[in-house]
Amino acid sequence: MAIEHDIKDPSLADGGRYKIEWAGKEMPVLKLIRERFAKERPLDGLRLSACLHVTAETANLAHTLQAGGADIVLTASNPLSTQDDVAASLVAHYEIPVYAIKGEDDATYYDHIKAAIAHKPHITMDDGADLVSTLHKEYTDLLPHVIGGTEETTTGVIRLRAMAKEGALKFPVIAINDSMTKHLFDNRYGTGQSTLDGIIRATNILIAGRTVVVAGYGWCSRGIAMRAEGHGANVIVTEVDALKALEAVMDGYRVMPMAEAAPLGDIFVTATGDINVIDTHHMEAMKDGAIICNSGHFNVEINLKGLREMSRSEPELIRPFVERYVLKNGKTVHLLGEGRLVNLAAAEGHPASVMDMSFANQALGAEYMRDNAGTLEDQVYTIPEELDMEIARLKLAAMGISIDTLTTEQETYLNQWQEGT
Ligand SMILES: NC(=O)c1ccc[n+]([C@@H]2O[C@H](COP(=O)([O-])OP(=O)(O)OC[C@H]3O[C@@H](n4cnc5c(N)ncnc54)[C@H](O)[C@@H]3O)[C@@H](O)[C@H]2O)c1
HSE-up (13 A, CA, CB side) for residue 72: 30
Q: Is the pLDDT of residue 2 over 80?
A: no
pLDDT classification of 3: cutoffs 50, 70, 90? confident
Alpha helical stretches, state H, 204-257: 219-230, 242-250
Q: Is 78 exposed, middle or buried (0-12, 13-18, 19+ CB in 10 A)?
A: buried
Ligand 1 atom with least separation from CA of 297:
41
Q: Say what the pLDDT of residue 421 is.
A: 82
Q: Ligand 1 centroid vs 306 CA: distance in angstroms?
A: 22
pLDDT classification of 274: cutoffs 50, 70, 90? very high
Name the pairing type of β-strands 322-326 and 332-336: antiparallel
Q: Is the pLDDT of residue 1 over 70?
A: no
pLDDT tens-digit map of 34-81:
999 999 999 999 999 999 999 999 999 999 999 999 999 999 999 999
pLDDT tens-digit map of 163-221:
999 999 999 999 999 999 999 999 999 999 999 999 999 999 999 999 999 999 999 99
The amino acid sitting at 206 is L
Q: Ligand 1 centroid vs 215 CA: distance in angstroms?
A: 8
Q: Say what the pLDDT of residue 420 is.
A: 86
Ligand 1: which residue has its CA nearest to atom 25? 216
pTM (predicted TM-score)? 0.94
What torsion, rounded to 10 degrees, do the Cα atoms 221, 226, 231, 232 define?
Answer: 110
If you average pLDDT over residues 383-392, what whole number do you get?
Answer: 95
pLDDT classification of 419: cutoffs 50, 70, 90? confident
Name the pairing type of β-strands 332-336 and 148-151: unpaired
Using DSSP's 3-state secondary structure scheme, residue 331 falls into: coil
HSE-up (13 A, CA, CB side) for residue 284: 8
Q: Ligand 1 centroid vs 273 CA: distance in angstroms?
A: 4
Neighbours of 264 (CB within 10 A): 15
284: left (phi over 0), alpha (psi -120 to 50) or beta: alpha
Q: Say what the pLDDT of residue 268 is.
A: 98
- Cα distance between residue 335 and residue 339, in whole Å: 7
Task: For the chain, give the percent of residues with pLDDT over 70.
Answer: 100
- Cα distance between residue 213 and residue 336, in whole Å: 15
CA nearest to 125, candidates 67, 177, 185: 177
Q: Ligand 1 centroid vs 71 CA: distance in angstroms?
A: 33
Ligand 1: which residue has its CA nearest to atom 5? 187
Ligand 1: which residue has its CA nearest to atom 3? 191
- Cα distance between residue 129 and residue 52, in whole Å: 10
- Cα distance between residue 91 and residue 13, in whole Å: 8
**Would the CA dihedral through 278, 284, 285, 291 be positive or negative?**
positive
- Ligand 1 contacts (CB < 6 A) are 153-155, 183, 187, 191, 215-221, 238-241, 244, 271-274, 277, 295-297, 341, 343
Q: Ligand 1 centroid vs 297 CA: distance in angstroms?
A: 8
The mean predicted confidence, pLDDT, of the chain is 97
**Would the CA dihedral through 238, 243, 249, 251 be positive or negative?**
negative
